[in-house]
Amino acid sequence: MLALASAFAYRYFGAAILKQALVPSAKFEPAPKTPVNAYANADMWLARPDKPGNPALWDPPGYHPASNPPVAVFFIHPTSYLQRSHWNAPLDDKEANARAALFLQGQASAFNGIGAIWAPRYRQATFGAFLTNEEAAHQALDLAYGDIQAAFDEFLKEIGPNRPIILAGHSQGALHLSRLLKDRVAGTPLAKRIVAAYVVGWPVSKTTDLPEMGLPECTHADEAGCILSWQSFAEPADPSLIFDTFDASTGFNGRPRKGTAMVCTNPLTGTADATAPASDNLGALYPSADLKSAQIIAGRIPARCSGRGLLLIGSPPDIGPYVLPGNNYHVFDYSLFWANIRKDAERRYAAFEQRQ
């Protein structure tokens, strides 16, 4: 999370300075595809059920991981690499991996009440790749996605042919997850094994993306086999940085995303395009200053879907300093609703079992 302190520069110096500071000036470095069996090595995973010191097993006081979780969770962590010396993070970059472990503690841990969590290391695109339209940025994202595909293949092999699956990710991880749903889940028998897919912190167009992703939008709290997505903003919200990029892009069906509505799941209710008061918030994670611990505090943060699909959380909560321009609480998409997400996953698994 400390890596995102660079966002402060935007407030004072603008996008041009931020791009200059973070977009790599070097050419993209082509790299070989990940070998088919690379992820059979436990060292290629930040989290897996048999890995000592698994950061996804962290829980705040009052919560505990399941001792025999029935679901397998494939979690793709967000961007934790900020260097501009490479377009993609080296797999052994200590700083990037340490930050990724922090993200797993605050995000993936929400699923450890019912899930055994698998989270791969991958050659993630650097933060600066999201600040430019250079071809190198697209190449960097494609390289990262190739690693995710290889990791997912090993994940499926390891968990066996029948175990229920939760797919989840955040930010860059959610981008890769949306592609994975389109390429590897849509139209396949695997779709019937998906309890839910949490595509959080990345916009999903209801008309140009969702129809190609193989699962419907979650509209009810007790629905299984569906997609959840949201992007958190305090008010007044300025989502121009999101919409400018989103509206200039093409959806999975080949049509422009411009002007389309985004999937907005209210994590407090588990329903689409909903409004909920702060009293419905079962608990947000409030981290300590050194990020080594956190406490759960309930009843402080409301949520309502608004406009084209933003999730608005009212006045800016004092939950940490890493707020992005425009009152964008992107960094906190999971932690704002941690206890509700945990409950949501349990509820959707119960619905999945009943359906089976």
- Phi, psi at residue 156, to the nearest 5°? -65, -35
Under the banding of pLDDT at 50, 70 and 90, the label for residue 292 is confident
Q: Is pLDDT above 90 for 112? A: yes
pLDDT per residue as tens digits for the range 132-150: 888 999 999 999 999 999 9
Question: pTM for the whole thing?
Answer: 0.94
> Helical H runs in 83-221?
94-106, 135-159, 172-180
How many structural domains comprise the chain? 1
pLDDT per residue as tens digits for the range 4-36: 444 444 544 455 556 666 788 778 888 888 887
Q: Is pLDDT above 70 for 276? A: yes
Question: By percentage, how much of the chain surpasses pLDDT 90?
Answer: 79
Query: What is the DSSP pairing of strand 310-312 with strand 303-306?
Result: antiparallel
To the nearest whole number, what is the mean pLDDT of the chain?
A: 92
Are 221 and 347 spatial neighbours (Cβ–Cβ below 8 Å)? Answer: yes
How much is the pLDDT for 201? 97
Min mean pLDDT across 13-27, 55-69, 119-133 is at 13-27
How much is the pLDDT for 111? 98
Give CA–CA dist 266/155, Å, rounded.
29
In 10 A of CB 189, how many CB atoms?
A: 8
Min mean pLDDT across 31-35, 206-210, 307-311 is at 31-35
Are 151 and 169 spatial neighbours (Cβ–Cβ below 8 Å)? Answer: no
Question: Mean pLDDT throughout 47-75?
Answer: 96
How much is the pLDDT for 2? 38
Say which DSSP state 125 is in.
Answer: B
Q: Which residues contact 354 (CB under 8 A, 6 or more apart)?
A: none
Are 339 and 259 spatial neighbours (Cβ–Cβ below 8 Å)? Answer: no
Higher pLDDT, 5 or 117: 117
**Domain residue limits at 266:** 2-355
How much is the pLDDT for 12? 45
Give CA–CA dist 287/299, Å, rounded.
16
Half-sphere exposure of 191 (CA within 13 A, CB side): 16
Are 296 and 162 spatial neighbours (Cβ–Cβ below 8 Å)? Answer: no
Give CA–CA dist 214/78, Å, rounded.
23
Under the banding of pLDDT at 50, 70 and 90, the label for residue 3 is very low
Q: Which residues contact 68 (CB under 8 A, 6 or more apart)?
A: none
